[in-house]
Every structure is written in C-alpha cells, then in structure tokens.
Amino acid sequence: MVKMPVTIKEIAREAEVSTATVSMILNNKDKSISEATRNRVLEIARNRNYVPNTMARSLVTKQTRTIGLIMPDIVNPFFPEIARGAEDRASLSRYSIIYCNTDDNLSRENTYIDILTEKMVDGIIFTHSADRQGGAEGFKRCRVPIILIDRDYDLPNVIGKVLVDNTKASYTGVNYLLDQGYRKIAYIAGSIHTRTAMDRLEGYKKALADRNLVYGEEYVKIGEYKSQWGSEAAKAFLDEKIDFDAIFCGNDLIAIGAVKALKEAGYRVPEDVGVMGFDDIYMAGVVEPALTTVKQPNYEMGYRAAELLINAIEKTDSPEKIEEIKTVILDTELTVRQSTKKGAAQ
C-alpha cells in the first residue's frame, strides 16, 4: 500500500522529454506537441498509474477546486438536500466539497472559516445559522468569496446570496387554503426571532388582508419549531373555542403535531379543518398524508449556490468589478399531497 508516487519528473525521464512537455500534455495544453510524443507520454503515465499531485499544482495555480460548505447540522433533514444540491453542481465542474457542521455555534463557525481559508478553498457556501448576529470578527483572515443561503446577513466577502421569498411563500400557502374554501385560518408559528419567521407571518397577514379577512391576534400563536408545540397550540385553539377552520403552521413538525391533536379531538383533517405545513421536512408525506405544505426548494438552493460560486471563481475575466452581490430569489412550491378542500368526502 505504500506505493511510491510517480511524478512527472519520472515520466519525463522515461519518455525522454522535459517535465514541461509532460505537464502540458497531461493538462491538454499541448497545442504544439507532436502526436508521437503525446501518445508516448500518455501511455507511460497510464502504465505507471500516474496521479497528479494537486497540492503542488494548487501551490502554483492558486486554485484548489474545493468548496467549503458550512451549515448548522447535517442531521437536521433540512440540510442534506442543500448539501446534495451543492455537491451535484460542484462535481459537474469537478469541484469537491468540504463540509462543516457548526451546531449554530458562532465559535465553531469562525474556526471553520479559518480552517477553510487555510485549506485555500476557492469559496465558501454558508448556510444559515440561527446565532450569528452579523458579527464579522471571524472573517478577518478570510480571503475567499462567500455565498449565503437562506439568510441575509451583512458579511464581508459575500459575493452572492440564494434566498427564498418567505413572505410570498406563506402568502401563496394561505391563499391556497382560502381557495379551498377555508375562511378562518389560524397560524401556529415557531420561534419568531428570525427574519424568516417574521416574513412568513407577514405573508399570512397579507393574504388575509387582501381578501378583507380580519380577525384578532388570538388566531396567532407563537412557540417553537416542534411537533409538541403544534399539538399544544392546536389544543389551545380548541380550548379557547377559537372559531377556525384551518391552521397554517410555521413548519411541518408543528403541522404534524397539530394534525395529531385535531384528530385526537375528533376532527377530520382536512374535511373539518385544513392544516398546512411549511418546509417539507423529510418524510412529512409519510407521516401525514393529509398535509399539504409549502416546500422550500432546498436542493435547488444548494445547487444554485454552488453555481453562483463557481461562476464567480471562474469568471476571472471581470476583474475587480464583482462589487455587486448577485442575489437569487427562489420560489417555494406548493406540495399538495391530498385534496384539502373544505368538506370534501374522505
């Protein structure tokens, strides 16, 4: 297993040419090299199982063909899709991805940014972390371009963003419920501390306002992104005898909990009460087929982020004027799993 690596030097000697020639041939920059030597060199390289040393190459070219992917936690089903999208786009252009879990921890984020710049990655895709308060101390030593996903911070080195229009998304979702015949739509929010959550709430309010539907603040409950909370909140609505016929939820976990509570209380979903989730966690469909959700295009977000980054890296032609931050805003999509029409037969 401890095979001594073959270098271009050895190949050059064996082929009786210079290392420059070998290098050019191996990199397809052999415009002016005879077919004869070309084939000879290629043949030898193949026979000797030549593997280029990318360290040496990168040292010269200042490119590693590696991208860093920083995210809170790959075990959270939100992220694998993003990671996969990024990887698929990256590997198309023969970039590799170094992945880093931060657990939403600022100091781990900073550590990773350091490590990635030391590793000389060509760029970083930064997926949202709840904590980060815009603090830029961790970026002092960072020298690589950054693409933001999902959250819009003001950070140094950011050259692009891939975002979702959350207001529009929940607006669309609530409108779907209205179109299905529901008229009294309650809202169970998760944490409301993030921009994302507030935008969603705003979309909900806007959809109602557009149809001149107004009802009090008792229709909105704020808690956390857990199914437990969904159950509690739904029960609370029932206990308080709020007159609602649908619930829009801050995310799918909440929705799953809400559906459970409603069913336990004897309601049929969606015939009696429509419930809609958001985000589409993995398996939401398996868990609760009655659930229609607003799906965030995670895979595409990862894909587009990698694309933005690679374009920026390779567009060395436009020198310094990468001043404008490219922003991609993706649409969410409605995943209708089962008719959610009010009063529909089972």
Using rule CB under 7 A, residue 19 touches DNA: yes
Using rule CB under 7 A, residue 59 touches DNA: yes
Q: CB 120 → a copy of itself: shortest distance, Å?
A: 6
Q: Which one of residues 13, 42, 52, 285 is an interface residue with DNA (CB under 7 A)?
A: 52
Site stretch for DNA (CB under 7 A), options 19-27, 227-235, 245-253, 311-319: 19-27
Q: Which one of residues 287, 301, 306, 308 is an interface residue with a copy of itself (CB under 8 A)?
A: 287
- 19 versus 101: smaller Cβ distance to DNA: 19
Partner from DNA, a copy of itself, none contacting 24, C-beta within 5 to 8 A by type: DNA
**Which strands, in side-by-side order, build the sheet including 185-189?**
220-222, 185-189, 246-249, 274-278, 292-295, 333-335
Quick check: 303 and 84 in contact, CB under 8 A?
no
307-346 binders of a copy of itself (CB under 8 A):
320, 322
Site stretch for DNA (CB under 7 A), options 49-57, 153-161, 193-201, 326-334: 49-57
Using rule CB under 8 A, residue 120 touches a copy of itself: yes
Partner from DNA, a copy of itself, none contacting 87, C-beta within 5 to 8 A by type: a copy of itself
Q: In the chain, where does DSSP find H-type helix?
A: 8-15, 19-26, 35-47, 54-61, 79-92, 106-118, 166-179, 195-210, 227-239, 252-264, 284-287, 298-314
Using rule CB under 7 A, residue 27 touches DNA: yes
- Residue 24 sits at the vertex; the CA angle it makes with 20 and 30, to the nearest 5 degrees, is 130
C-alpha 152: how far from chain center: 13
The tokens for 166 are 């959350």
- 185 versus 255: smaller Cβ distance to a copy of itself: 255
Q: Which one of residues 13, 42, 48, 57 is an interface residue with DNA (CB under 7 A)?
A: 57
Partner from DNA, a copy of itself, none contacting 98, C-beta within 5 to 8 A by type: a copy of itself
User: Taking Cα atoms as reference points, which of 250, 241, 249, 294 lies closest to residue 269?
Assistant: 249
252 three-state secondary structure: helix
User: Percentages helix, strand, coil for the chain, rounded to the nearest 5?
Assistant: 40, 15, 40
User: Taking Cα atoms as reference points, which of 261, 266, 130, 279 lies closest to residue 186?
Assistant: 261
Partner from a copy of itself, DNA, none contacting 329, C-beta within 5 to 8 A by type: none
Q: Which one of residues 21, 64, 227, 340 is an interface residue with DNA (CB under 7 A)?
A: 21
Quick check: 95 and 66 in contact, CB under 8 A?
yes
- 137 versus 217: smaller Cβ distance to a copy of itself: 137
DSSP symbols for 150-169: SS----TTEEEEEEE-HHHH
DSSP 8-state class, residue 222:
E
Using rule CB under 7 A, residue 327 touches DNA: no
Q: Which residue has the tokens 């939403």?
A: 104
- 5 versus 135: smaller Cβ distance to a copy of itself: 5
Q: How many Å apart are CA 267 and CA 261, to the nearest integer?
A: 9
Neighbours of 92 (CB within 10 A): 12
Largest separation between any pair of C-alpha atoms in the chain: 89
DSSP symbols for 84-104: HHHHHHHHHTT-EEEEEE-TT
Using rule CB under 8 A, residue 135 touches a copy of itself: no
Using rule CB under 8 A, residue 3 touches a copy of itself: yes
Q: CB 209 → a copy of itself: shortest distance, Å?
A: 34
Site stretch for a copy of itself (CB under 8 A), options 8-16, 81-89, 125-133, 271-279: 81-89
- 124 versus 207: smaller Cβ distance to a copy of itself: 124
Site stretch for a copy of itself (CB under 8 A), options 127-135, 141-149, 166-174, 265-273: 141-149
Using rule CB under 8 A, residue 156 touches a copy of itself: yes
Interface ranges with a copy of itself (CB under 8 A): 1-3, 5, 49-56, 58-59, 64, 66, 73-75, 77, 79-81, 83-84, 87-88, 91, 94, 96-101, 114-120, 140-141, 143, 145, 156-157, 159, 227, 253, 256, 281-283, 286-287, 320, 322
